[in-house]
Amino acid sequence: MALLSLLRCDLYRPPPLEYQNLVVVMIDTLRSDHLPSYGYERDTAPYLARLAAEGIKLQGTSASSWTKASVATLFTGLYPQRHQAVSRSDSLPPGLPSLPAILQAAGIKTAAYVGNKNVGRAFGFDRGFDAFYQFKPAAKVDGSVVTDRALSLAQGLESRFFLYVHYVDPHDPYRPQEPWDDALVNHLPLLQPRAFQQPGAPKADALERRRLIAQYDGEIREVDREIRRLIGGLKDLGLTERTLVVVTSDHGEEFQEHGGWTHGRTLYEEMLQVPFILWSESPPLPRRQDLSLFHHVDFMPTLLEAVGIGTDLRDEPETIDGVSRWQALTTGAPLPEAPLFYHLDLDGRGALALREGSRKLIHTNRPPHNQSFDLAADPEEQNPVDGTGSELLLSLLRHHNRLGILAAQRQRRTLDDETRKSLAALGYLELDTPDEELAERSIPRRLDRERGLQAPGSE
């Protein structure tokens, strides 16, 4: 009997952790290394640090370096080559599996407030939401407005629900009420990266770079306060019981680490590394803080399993590219190491990247076409290495071509005046940019395996 009892103890496994409700907080343009919970020296986000310390914090990595392509992957569990929402005028194709649509079909109330129209109604991101609101004026929306609107939406929710809240504070133009407390710069007028992005513009000096970073960090501090207010407001409404809160970003931001500014131009790590924080008041999550890599392609299936949905996706692996990591996250098991793929096809810039362990290859349509890095020795990607490029390139091109076979039918939209003005306010386009230019692509669905993006045409 004693032996049987011991065997039963060894065989016992606690039931999987499962939640009724889901809140996803998207902080546009937030690179994780500007958060104290990820090692930043400035205390830019004390509330997010608290959530990270009380729950699960991993190193998130986005699928692309701009909003539409990244959030489309997050919602669908598909790489950009498959969901096809990769250019300025692309819309999310109907019929794809999507997080809000699956939750809605399961009887869960779905609601969203978005501050970036790249993931707005014009591009099909409202599909699956019972209530979907987006910022209308042609300007960047302040985080306080996003919080107010989100809490107003939340008043109509009851268990079970999914709430998606999309802040844009760290996105340029950087206009915090107060830049970071830097004695050398906080008395100076606000500066914007666009001043250095125009043809013939002067190169920013060290002080100007410091000013821009202080403004960016000030925006992070302000959105951190708004997230505290959002979660506090949900608690006051009685909506935090059995609710999983997930905080992440769609992409990072560059401050001349590789000669440029803002985002959507390269696939270096400052563009791809984003926060991934899970927190719950009740029941609490097991605490886990490490820098295991969590790719956004796994976001949708992971969250579906967190709320007790997703068996069909696991039974049909070709339906999506992502895999649920929920069991590993909540049991403390290591996340399986898998190749990580990235994609960018925007404004004439075509780039693909593959990471295997600490090895990474970036393959572009502009010279230098191939750069290999050892991220363990060179995490800032300043010193390309030889010896791994051809092997990784072959794997990368093979993967890209396989995804092209499974690609959805591309959907394009003609942008209305309101959408154009809103996107122009965030620097995505000029008001008079022709529709054909907004639809341009650089990467064909199939690439020549010998030359890749250096080839003059496609097969």
Report pLDDT for 6: 43
Report pLDDT for 421: 77
Which runs of consecutive H residues, i.e. helices, occur in 189-348? 206-236, 269-272, 299-306, 311-315, 326-331
Q: How many CA atoms lie within 13 A of 92 on its CB side?
A: 31
Indicate the domain borders of the chain: 17-335, 341-454
In 335-416, the DSSP E strands lie at 340-346, 349-356, 359-364, 370-374, 411-412
Ordered per-residue pLDDT tens for the chain, 459 residues: 454 444 444 443 455 689 999 999 999 999 999 999 999 999 999 999 999 999 999 999 999 999 999 999 999 999 999 999 999 999 999 989 999 999 999 999 999 999 999 999 999 999 999 999 998 887 899 999 999 999 999 999 998 999 999 999 999 999 999 899 887 787 888 999 998 988 788 889 999 999 999 999 999 999 999 999 999 999 999 999 999 999 999 999 999 999 999 999 999 999 999 999 999 999 999 999 999 999 999 999 999 999 999 655 544 446 899 999 999 999 989 998 899 999 999 999 999 999 999 999 999 999 989 999 999 999 999 999 986 678 899 999 999 999 999 999 999 887 777 788 778 777 777 777 777 777 789 999 999 877 788 765 443
- Please state the pTM of the whole predicted model: 0.93
Q: Which two tokens stand for residue 47?
A: 């509330």
In sequence order, the 6+-apart residues with CB closer than 8 A to the CB of 440 are: 87, 347, 348
Report pLDDT for 201: 84
**CA gap 419, 363 in Å, rounded:** 32
Number of H helices and number of E strands within the chain? 14, 16
Q: Which two tokens stand for residue 218?
A: 């000030």
Q: Look up residue 420 and give its amino acid.
A: R
Report pLDDT for 12: 39
Q: What are phi and psi of 163, to 5 degrees?
A: -120, 125
Query: Which H or E run includes 291?
Result: strand 288-295
- Under DSSP, the state recorded for 241 is B
Q: What are phi and psi of 257, to 5 degrees?
A: -60, -30
**CA gap 334, 154 in Å, rounded:** 35
Q: Which two tokens stand for residue 143?
A: 């985080």
Query: What's the distance, Cα to Cα, between the start and end of the chain in Å?
Result: 69
Contact 57, 36 (CB under 8 A): no
Report pLDDT for 14: 52
Q: Domain 17-335: give its CATH architecture.
A: 3-Layer(aba) Sandwich (3.40)
Q: Which two tokens stand for residue 353?
A: 């990247």
Peptide bond into 334 cis (omega under 30): no
